[in-house]
A and B are shown apart, each in its own frame.
Chain A
Amino acid sequence: MEEQSQDDGVSRRGFLLTSAAAAALAATAENPRPAAAAATAAPAEVVEVALEVNGKARTLALDPRVTLLDALRERLDLTGTKKGCDRGQCGACTVHVDGRRVLSCLTLAAGLGGKAVTTVEGLAEGDRLHPVQRAFVACDGLQCGFCTPGQVMSAVALIEEGHAGSEAEIREYMSGNICRCGAYQQIVQAVRMAKEEA
């Protein structure tokens, strides 16, 4: 799907506004089986989202099922953000939304209107790496590299959050990012080095 203006999406939202009846709600325990309804589901709705990604204004017309992760990877060709589990269980997809680290696999892109997203591609200034990126290189805070964008994004946020105090605190606050290669101690060293520089 390309970036485009989608008038249709707007009118559909207008339709929802006026016709939705306040009745049963899926936030309760009741979950109707989807299968029967699914076969006759209407063609996918399109939602228009205007957001900022790595400092650039972007407008996307999206199926509302699209996650931020898939929007970045499949629509914006920002493949630095990785899909490790797509379930919020590994942290490889960590990005910043309005400066906070979040899991892009559990974030619907549709809800990001007006938000600023930063991905691993948005950290360096030209050729100049972000101090956290430099520290990951210097401390060998990576091996296969697949979890690395998520680790880097977490580490940047961690320092800004003020959670880079003791080694134990760094470890706890980096525990949302799994590294199967086991580069954890080098990651901790990188966080410390970057924090010193910051």
Chain B
Amino acid sequence: MRPYTYAAARSVGEALERAGDGSAYLAGGTTLVDLMKLEVVSPAHVVDITAVPLRGIRRGPRGLFIGAMERMADVAGHHLVAEPYPVVAEALRQSASPQIRNMATIGGNLLQRTRCGYFRDPATPCNRREPGSGCPAVDGHNRSHAILGTSDACVATHPSDLAVALTALDARLSLRGAGGERTLRLADFYRLPGGTPHLENELRPGELITGVTVPALPWARRSTYVKVRDRRSYEFALCSAAVAVHVKGGVIREARVAAGGVGTRPWRLPAVEEALRGRPMRTETFEAAVAHAADGARPLARNAFKPALLRRTIVRALVHLAG
């Protein structure tokens, strides 16, 4: 860990003021402290925002607002989340460990960095960490890597479960920076790696995530998050599916489907949603609808199973909602 100066901020304004060239915001610390120890990131200044009151979980006219500094555990257990949006609560509860969920914030969760082993090891090249240095994952150990949205420069998955659920629900981010406040669809927030995988998102220098708004979607009560992994807990997704359906008279009126563990960002699947619409809520429908879920996927040497796993994970989630 390189030396840095440390300062705590008590308000958003103070945080923005204290942030500077090469500084990093410290919230839950579960990403930043880890990556500083690995020397994957080495900020010159750390601005601790744990005391910044970006809190609150409340219902408003545009949906559910969650303050960026709310902790994962508190959001997962909140009745305004768990009842109307089971998919969000389930995604959170299946994330990391209870201790990490007690620490990590919603804003930090959405900004967590990829778990790609090459990214996390400064002794290896990585275009995301060090632009232009190369990507050993393309020909290396890539079992956990992405099949969708990849480029020759980067095949790393986005690790957040929450982001997958929020992408399915079309959540919006509230951001605040020196230039004031703005909002952005989460779907527009994450960038595809392309030739510039080090530019991960649309956050501007100095900008803070202040909160997330999940649009009101009454039928999202019928939603779920299925996470497939190599052990039953405390583990990132091999593949996951966030699914919500609006069923009337046995027919699917609306559907939301997003996947994790397969994309370089949380992966919404509008074609699957479209294929579900107007069809009866049953297994045959699901199996037909996912047929093209992995279209355009570029499987790698060690993750050739992921297109099939993606299709089956979505079916399993839909079967749960049908049951």
Contact = CB atoms under 8 A, between A and B. Distances in A.
A172 B21 CA distance: 42
A75 B41 CA distance: 26
B153 interface: no
Contacts of A28: 200-201, 203-205, 207
A20 B22 contact: no
Interface residues of B, number: 62
A37 B2 CA distance: 9
Given A20-B7, A87-B34, A30 B29 contact: no
Contact of B7 (A16, A106, A171): A16
A157 B23 CA distance: 34
Interface string A75-113: 000000000001110010010000011110111101101
Given A86-B37, A108-B26, A103 B100 contact: yes
Contacts of A101: 98-99, 102
Nearest to A87: B34
B2 A172 contact: no
B23 A31 contact: no
Contact of A176 (B48, B99, B128): B99
Contacts of A29: 128, 198-201, 203
A111 B48 contact: yes
B122 to A, nearest CB: 9
Contact of A102 (B1, B103, B203): B103
Contacts of A157: 98
Given A24-B206, A45-B5, A16 B18 contact: yes
B97 A22 contact: no
B26 A26 contact: no
Given A94-B99, A103-B100, A34 B23 contact: no
Contacts of B201: 28-29
B40 interface: yes
A23 B29 contact: no
A133 interface: no
Contacts of B269: none
* Residue among B36, B102, B233 having the largest count of chain A Cβ atoms under 10 Å: B102
Contacts of B18: 16-17, 20, 22
Interface SS majority for chain B:
loop
Contacts of A26: 22-25, 41, 43
Most A-side CB within 10 Å, residue of B3, B37, B43, B45 = B3
B42 A45 contact: no
Contacts of A5: none
Given A20-B7, A67-B33, A108-B26, 16 more contacts: A16-B45, A26-B22, A27-B25, A31-B42, A31-B198, A33-B42, A34-B39, A41-B2, A65-B4, A103-B30, A106-B30, A107-B29, A108-B46, A113-B8, A172-B232, A176-B96
Q: Which 7 A-B pairs have the closest CB atoms?
A: A176-B97, A34-B42, A26-B24, A175-B233, A64-B6, A29-B200, A20-B20
Interface of B: 1-8, 16-26, 29-30, 33-34, 36-48, 50, 96-100, 102-103, 111, 128-130, 178, 198-201, 203-208, 232-234
Interface of A: 12-13, 16-17, 20-34, 37-38, 41-45, 47, 63-65, 67, 86-88, 91, 94, 100-103, 105-108, 110-111, 113, 154, 157-158, 161, 163, 171-173, 175-178
27 contacts: A16-B7, A20-B19, A24-B20, A24-B22, A24-B206, A26-B23, A26-B24, A27-B207, A28-B204, A28-B205, A29-B198, A31-B41, A33-B42, A43-B3, A63-B3, A64-B6, A65-B1, A67-B33, A88-B30, A94-B99, A101-B102, A105-B33, A106-B100, A108-B26, A161-B98, A176-B96, A178-B234
